Chain A
Amino acid sequence: MFVLSASLSVPTDGNFADWVIFLTQEYGGIFLEGCMWTLLIALVGTVAGCVIGFICGSIQTIEIQDTDPLYKKLFIGILKLIFNIYVEVFRGTPMMVQAMVMYYGLPMIGISLAALPCGFLVVSINTGAYMAESVRGGIDSVDIGQFEAGKAIGMKHFEILRFIVMPQAIRNIMPQIGNQLVINIKDTSVLNVISVSELFFAGKTAASVYYKYFESFFIVAVIYLCLTLVISRIIRFIEKKMDGAADYSLESTGSTELKGEV
């Protein structure tokens, strides 16, 4: 970078394109690093959020039977209540505010987190709250007959969820997961309030030196757009993969006329 920037001169005529090129070369490393953190936080946050969402969403589907023992009714009831409160609180407040509250609030109860781990935590928990609802919807969208068929062969509730219902629910909520990932890529920008050096923060850094806010954030916008475009194409590809082939091959049963027939 030093070699590169040393050979560059600051554009003097204020031409937009010249400034964009200059800033890209001068702060390419910073943009790249911001880009990396944005992508990493968004990806990890979405995956962790999905895990939280799947746990919450699955628990919400447990039916309490009249015949269940009291401790089980209580335990599941309390668990559902806690998850409900969690979902309401984290869906009902802005992520930027959550970041501030956690970053400055957690040390009060003895948990001191650096900006970056705090950023990961905020995005994960926030995504989890949204995914919990998506997963519940995804499970609800799977035909009740699938549950019943699983029960009828003697499978337990969580076995049915794991082997039969979840794979179908995941396919149904794949567009939502993709959506959430795209939203997270953009929304990690709010983490600049706790000084996480993600892409928006990189843009601010680059802009402040020469007071070139438009040029700097133009570059940032282009990078965000590239990231989200690529990510949504990948998600679409995964969805197609999950749908599987449209046809199937017949198992050869020894009779020659069946061979090659599709």
Chain B
Amino acid sequence: MAEKKRKEEIVIRVDDLKKSFGNHQVLKGVDFHVRKGDVTCIIGASGSGKTTLLRCLNLLETPTSGQIYFHEQPITKYKMNIEQFRSRMGMVFQSFNLFNNMSVLDNCMLGPIHVLKKNKEEAREEAEKYLEKVGMHPQINAMPHQLSGGQKQRVAIARALCMHPEVILFDEPTSALDPQMVGEVLAVMKEMAQEGITMVIVTHEMAFARDVSTKTIFMKDGSVVEQGSPERIFYNPTSPYTAEFLARFMAG
């Protein structure tokens, strides 16, 4: 009981989530939860449904069945204000998706001004603060096409932070980057993890998952094979599939 008290509130709870595209079932009943302050890394081979799972969490994909609870409120069943819900759940994409028609600064101010209804000065101050944090302050006047991939992704992270979301979802944030840029993005994410920001990260960066996550989820063919602390998943996997998947990484 004492241990239960210590644990933080559950922010996201996924209950038997299924998703099909036509006849192809991508998610075959996924269960997990995210507590406040958790850094959850979802690992697994390409095509195992990691990205689809993440996209279901903020309803960029509509689940076929099952339920997702946000603060114990079901998000798919009841008529919840979807825009308001999404504003509380940040997302960082594999392909950055910075708004191409706006400068770095405007990218970070758009949401706070139009969704959170902040005034311009306040939004600008905040945007500058977070851009400073990700090391992109010197480039606030740049347009997205003038930036490198790593710089774009750091701006995308600042843009998500500006909304003060309760959870930030990362969809393979470093998969489109070269090794040096991977490092600069992961450094920012590591810092965020240490500050206690709740994150759900789909990643192929095994070392990052092992060192930074508080919980690791291994997926295979649309199901969660096992989940637990990174120490247990990486050094003591119970499933032969997990061991097989991690074998190459652990050997290297």
**Could you list which residues of chain A lie within 8 angstroms of chain B, going by C-beta atoms?**
65-67, 143, 145-146, 148-156, 159, 163-164, 167-168, 171, 244, 247-251, 253, 258
Contact = CB atoms under 8 A, between A and B. Distances in A.
Contact of B139 (A143, A152, A159, A251): A251
B76 to A, nearest CB: 9
B86 A168 contact: no
Contacts of B98: 149
Interface in B16-39: none
Contacts of B88: 154
B141 A146 contact: no
A215 B38 CA distance: 83
B225 interface: no
B217 interface: no
B48 interface: no
B111 A154 contact: yes
Given A152-B93, A163-B99, 9 more contacts: A145-B93, A145-B95, A146-B99, A148-B97, A149-B156, A153-B110, A163-B110, A250-B139, A250-B141
Nearest to A69: B79
B41 to A, nearest CB: 20
B58 interface: yes
B90 A164 contact: no
30 contacts: A66-B62, A67-B79, A145-B93, A146-B99, A148-B91, A149-B93, A149-B97, A149-B156, A151-B58, A151-B60, A152-B86, A152-B93, A153-B87, A153-B90, A153-B163, A154-B83, A154-B84, A154-B115, A156-B83, A159-B114, A163-B99, A163-B110, A164-B99, A164-B110, A168-B101, A247-B146, A250-B138, A251-B137, A251-B138, A258-B138
B147 to A, nearest CB: 9
Contact of B91 (A67, A152, A159, A248): A152
B143 interface: yes
B50 interface: no
Interface of B: 58, 60, 62, 79, 83-91, 93, 95, 97-103, 110-111, 114-115, 137-143, 146, 156, 159-160, 163
A65 to B, nearest CB: 8
A159 B95 CA distance: 22
Contacts of B103: 248
Give 6 nearest A-B pairs by CB, closest first.
Answer: A154-B87, A153-B111, A149-B97, A152-B91, A145-B97, A167-B101
A248 B139 CA distance: 8
B159 A153 contact: yes
Contacts of B156: 149
Nearest to A255: B138
Contacts of B138: 250-251, 253, 258
A253 B135 CA distance: 11
Contact of A244 (B84, B143, B159): B143
A250 to B, nearest CB: 5
B172 to A, nearest CB: 13
A91 to B, nearest CB: 29
B182 to A, nearest CB: 20
B86 A164 contact: no
Given A145-B97, A151-B60, A248 B142 contact: yes
Residue with the highest number of chain B CB atoms closer than 10 Å, among A145, A152, A249, A258 = A152
A121 B85 CA distance: 45
B239 to A, nearest CB: 32
A153 B141 contact: no
A154 B163 contact: yes
Given A145-B97, A153-B159, A167-B101, A248 B58 contact: no
B146 A248 contact: yes
A153 B114 CA distance: 10
Nearest to A169: B101
Contacts of B99: 146, 149-150, 163-164
Nearest to B99: A164
A150 B90 CA distance: 11
Contact of A251 (B58, B100, B110, B141): B141
Contacts of A67: 79
